[in-house]
Structure 1
Amino acid sequence: MKLIKLFLLLSFIVQGHAKAASEPNIIFLMADDLGWVDIHSPNATAGHGSNYHETPNIDKLAQQGMSFTHAYTQQNCQPTRTALISGQYAPGAYNNTYNVHSLDRADGKLPEDVLANITPYQQQEKGIDTSSTSIFEMLQNAGYHTAWFGKNHGTGSDSDVTSNHGIDYNYATKKKVKGKRNGKKRVSNYLALKDDKQGWILDGPMAKYAQPYTEDYIRKNLMPYANGNNPMEVVGKTKHYSDALADALIDYLIERKARPEQPFIAYVPFHAVHSGIVTRDDLHTKYKSKKSKDPRHKKAKYAGFVEQLDQTVGRILANVDSLGLAKNTLVIFTSDNGGVSKITSNKPLRNFKGTFYEGGLRVPFIARLPGVIAPNSVSAQPIHIIDTYPTLADAAGVDLDAAKIPQELDGASIFSVLNGKKNSLDRNALFWHFPGYMDSRNKPSSLIQKRIGLGKNQATYKLFFDYTNGEYELYNITQDISEMNNLLAAPTTETKKIAASMNTELIQWLSNYKAPTGHWRVNGDVVTYPATDMKSFSIPSN
């Protein structure tokens, strides 16, 4: 009897280890403000990538995995991150986050054609509802060890990611560090600070990695990824946050390598390449002497920062490989929104971060999992950041119905596309809604994007509705990636039919979510949803 019990126990242990080994580790790399064409990769950018910025490591990742050429986010950082972590669109009951800080950001800089005639929605959350089950809690409950390295936005304080959102290993840190130097208060952005009492520091636990660059450090950690730059130029100089972040992550990977019985997720929201731009000196030197062959991209400091991000990614992935983790690690690389106006160009995409045009929403998205995801593959399937939650659940073998998470997920798992079992999702439409103002970039508006037609006749359309003036815009982004030809300016019978159908679907989506719209300033009445006939939307007169 004892032998039988021992056999059953050993069988359980072996099965447990086999199950753990089949669950992939996950490394989710998210750049900040990196535009779709800021990288070079032809796969990830449908051939539109930069010919000035060099990103060989991200390009290599794209060759090793699948790139999605139509990957979308929210229009700026915090709403994208809360959508990722909650799995819900902005109007979702557990999300309710549309903008950074406030929706009342008209600030007197609106263009003449934008009417500030709406009092914005005032009850948006500062972060996702803590009663939700975050993407990290979902994986933690499934047996994953969870880690966070980098920017925190939309989840409360840096300590809250542990107490409220299921993070076991917390390196949620800011790119700025405060201290005193020679008795005076100082703030350093991206670079370590030598504090009078503490010595060299970066924010929070990152202080461990704040020492200036040494020759040994550079030879081991920077030289292997040099690409026409000379890292020895920074010997003795102040440590950059991005390099310190990689140090912290690599130490974590070494630790997890020693504990193969438990899969892990490392969420890595970089601060790079968010402004203000602080580029490591050797990379700035490289681009100052490099003549751009790309009329869109000519800024040496920004180009150096993009490549610094790329070399950081390369260093992380090289360590994943050398530690023997690559075969069972799903790596995802993406960005939180489009590139920033006056810092970079998103052409051929229209506009930039903060807007609902392609330049604000379309981002790189690359996934690698050897033996599961075909190398050098490309998908034109439109995907959204909300799809990450169910996708990672699918990859980890989590039954979301059995998990009984409180919030309803809005996304769809793309794992069947990643593993080649399907070419496309059944879902045809994506939605956005913004009930307020974001300086000169956004205004009260709603958007539906939809695939229409079959086979070679299939096209993707975007229908915008502007609540401030009751006007619509319709674009066929399959034929007009730059969104220059508003099909409703001179509509045909066919385009009217397409617009009407999309408008009906948009109204239904807004109604289902009880999406807020704000109030008319002139009389305090609630702003209504778009009119079903696309004509009778009422704007009160002053």
Structure 2
Amino acid sequence: MPTEIFRTLCHRLLCLAAVLIGSTATAADRPNVLFIFLDDFGWRDAGFMGSDFYETPHLDALAARGTVFTQAYSAAANCAPARACLLSGQYTPRHEIFNVGTQRRGNRKHGKLMHIPGTDTLRTDIRTWAQCVDQAGYRTGTIGKWHLSDDPLPYGFDFNFAGTHSGGPPQGYYPPHGKIEELADAPKDEYLTNRLTDEAIGFINQSDPAPWFLYLTHFAVHTPLQGEPDLVAKYRDKPPGELHDHAVMAAMIESVDTGVGRIVEALQQSGQSDNTIIVFTSDNGGYGPATSMSPLKGYKGTYYEGGIREPMFVVWPGVTQPGSVCEVPVINVDLYPTFCEMTGAELPDQIRDGKSLVPLLKSPDAAPESFDQRALFWHFPAYLQSYARTDQQRDVLYRSRPCSIIRAGKWKLHEYFEDGGLELYDLQADVGESNDLSETHPEIRDSLHQRLRQWRESTNAPVPTEPNPNYDEAAERQAMRKALKKRD
């Protein structure tokens, strides 16, 4: 029996079993879930988050139908670790994907420490939320960027389109698309974002009695920056905003937004709109050379707010209140238990670092006490080199050097391992992280630092200590002077 036919048969039997024996939710209560996950889409890159140049009318309309989270975070500042946290529901020390790839990033003469290489593949012993949802009788699909292994199917998906180990469009947003088998016959003028939208609509419209869960993970707006020519021309003729003005980025965002509008229309036409949850967010901060997260400091690759805070909304018909806003800090590891609760899937017997957001979706203004008491954590024992923009990072050579971060309430503490540097910020008064309070508030600094160290111990988080044998202090200082001169 061919493999795909066997998988389909097994899945239909599981669906039938789930309905017959009953799951946490009854069959009638089992909503579809559309999870739209963008790449390098910044905190201010949509109209509903305040962009004054990019146009996102369909995303804005969706956000108005549900709950917008103003303090939603990714658990990492760049692609692969963020996605590993998302799928596993665990912080980076547990799955050990710390960076994109395992090689040391940046000039080998710069940086005092050897990095912790970790791995570049999500371990198969970690059970993903997709496996839980699939086991609960859902038809599961992933369309677009995967980045965690060569093939997403073993991680709980019945269907995969274009998901490989690649971190971006292999050869851009127009054909040829390298080794992506599903795109081998793509017409020469077909824009990749539009094709992924077509595939998503096809998945949604399949005739199948089982509820479905679609992970639509666009490559957009990851580099290379390529927009549809007519849209690029449109934005080049548009007056710039005070916040945003990049025509190609605007064109890429509009293509995503138009696709979202088409998907929403397909849901309405098929009668599935009232029984479909839509979750929208991004994997890390925006691409610094092309966009701005102001008033946040930082961008993709930094652990300042602009590198990790994400736009996010949830539309759950009959549950979320239209036009509602939740200001409680949440993080992408929270989506694991959230998805399981939404679908009635059983949580596995493994460590989970997140909390279900369902209570916040039901009452965004009345957060349970457990949300107020918890801290959020980030751990990056590696190096990530600079790109064209260097003005909102700790130094001009690296977007981030090895570090750990904790946020508890309004307070956020950075710890950098090379020099033992500590930075303390009051995000309520200083969301732009411009005023380091580590010297003026030593009690808060030390308390958070102790809590951060205890968390590292509890997660066996590796801290780099081995000296870099290639480190050349004079060469690093010279490179810094040259980079500063070029920037200024």
- TM-score computed with the length of structure 1 as normaliser: 0.76
Matched, 1:417 2:364: no
Contact 2:284 2:308 in 1 (8 A): yes
Give the aligned residue type for 1:447.
I
Instruction: After TM superposition, give the deviation of residue 313 of structure 1 in Å.
Output: 1.4
Change (3 A) 1:522 1:336: closer
How many correspondences in the alignment? 434
> How large is the Cα RMSD of the aligned pairs?
2.5
* Partner in structure 2 of residue 82 of structure 1: 84
Instruction: After TM superposition, give the deviation of residue 278 of structure 1 in Å.
Output: 1.0
CA distance in 2, matches of 1:516, 1:188: 35
Instruction: After TM superposition, give the deviation of residue 523 of structure 1 in Å.
Output: 9.4
Change (3 A) 1:253 1:447: same
* Partner in structure 2 of residue 227 of structure 1: none
Contact 1:120 1:436 in 2 (8 A): yes
What do the CA deviations read for 1:13-42 (whole angstroms, capped 9, x no partner)? 6979x922211111110111010011110x
The farther-off stretch of 64-73 and 95-104 is 95-104
Contact 1:149 1:171 in 2 (8 A): yes
CA distance in 2, matches of 1:66, 1:437: 35
* Partner in structure 2 of residue 166 of structure 1: 156
* Partner in structure 2 of residue 506 of structure 1: 452
Q: Which runs of 5+ in 1 are unaligned?
A: 1-8, 111-115, 177-186, 195-200, 213-237, 452-459, 525-542
CA distance in 2, matches of 1:332, 1:483: 29
Task: Select 2:130's aligned residue among 125, 136, 152.
Answer: 136
Contact 1:57 1:310 in 2 (8 A): yes
Contact 2:146 2:165 in 1 (8 A): no
Instruction: After TM superposition, give the deviation of residue 442 of structure 1 in Å.
Output: 0.9
* Partner in structure 1 of residue 403 of structure 2: 445
What do the CA deviations read for 1:244-298 (whole angstroms, capped 9, x no partner)? 111111111110xx22x31111001100001111101121121011011x23311
Give the aligned residue type for 1:242.
T
What do the CA deviations read for 1:464-522 (whole angstroms, capped 9, x no partner)? 11111111100011111110000124x0xxx2222122112111100101110122317
Give the aligned residue type for 1:140.
D
Give the aligned residue type for 2:105.
R
- TM-score computed with the length of structure 2 as normaliser: 0.84
Change (3 A) 1:13 1:50: same
* Partner in structure 2 of residue 516 of structure 1: 462
* Partner in structure 2 of residue 363 of structure 1: 310
CA distance in 2, matches of 1:65, 1:312: 19
Give the aligned residue type for 1:57.
H
* Partner in structure 2 of residue 276 of structure 1: 224
SS of 2:399's equivalent in the other structure is coil
Change (3 A) 1:340 1:188: closer
Give the aligned residue type for 2:180.
D
SS of 2:414's equivalent in the other structure is strand
* Partner in structure 1 of residue 59 of structure 2: 58
CA distance in 2, matches of 1:263, 1:419: 22
* Partner in structure 1 of residue 45 of structure 2: 38
SS of 1:449's equivalent in the other structure is strand
Instruction: After TM superposition, give the deviation of residue 103 of structure 1 in Å.
Output: 5.8
CA distance in 1, matches of 2:116, 2:194: 40
Give the aligned residue type for 2:58.
N
* Partner in structure 2 of residue 323 of structure 1: 270
Give the aligned residue type for 2:361.
L
Contact 1:175 1:241 in 2 (8 A): no
* Partner in structure 1 of residue 172 of structure 2: 189
What do the CA deviations read for 1:96-140 (whole angstroms, capped 9, x no partner)? 111101262132596xxxxx1111113x11121101211111111
Contact 2:30 2:343 in 1 (8 A): yes
SS of 1:251's equivalent in the other structure is helix
Task: Select 2:191's aligned residue among 206, 219, 240.
Answer: 240
Matched, 1:463 2:401: no
Identical aligned pairs, as a percentage?
34
Give the aligned residue type for 1:118.
L
What do the CA deviations read for 1:216-238 (whole angstroms, capped 9, x no partner)? xxxxxxxxxxxxxxxxxxxxxx0
Q: Which has the larger radius of gyration?
A: 1
SS of 1:302's equivalent in the other structure is helix
Instruction: After TM superposition, give the deviation of residue 68 of structure 1 in Å.
Output: 0.3
Give the aligned residue type for 1:211.
P
Pairing 1:96-175 to 2, within 5 Å after superposition: 96-102=96-102, 104-107=104-107, 116-122=111-117, 124-154=118-148, 156-157=149-150, 160-162=151-153, 164-173=154-163
Give the aligned residue type for 1:282.
D
Contact 1:148 1:266 in 2 (8 A): yes
Instruction: After TM superposition, give the deviation of residue 422 of structure 1 in Å.
Output: 6.9
Change (3 A) 1:109 1:337: farther
Instruction: After TM superposition, give the deviation of residue 188 of structure 1 in Å.
Output: 4.3
Change (3 A) 1:467 1:166: same
Instruction: After TM superposition, give the deviation of residue 350 of structure 1 in Å.
Output: 0.3
SS of 1:104's equivalent in the other structure is coil
Task: Select 1:348's aligned residue among 271, 274, 295.
Answer: 295
Matched, 1:265 2:213: yes
Give the aligned residue type for 2:114.
T
CA distance in 1, matches of 2:363, 2:39: 29
What do the CA deviations read for 1:151-195 (whole angstroms, capped 9, x no partner)? 0111x11xx311x2111011134699xxxxxxxxxx84111349x
SS of 2:452's equivalent in the other structure is helix
Give the aligned residue type for 1:443.
R
Contact 1:52 1:297 in 2 (8 A): yes
Contact 1:341 1:352 in 2 (8 A): yes
Contact 2:102 2:119 in 1 (8 A): no
* Partner in structure 2 of residue 204 of structure 1: 181
Contact 1:465 1:473 in 2 (8 A): yes
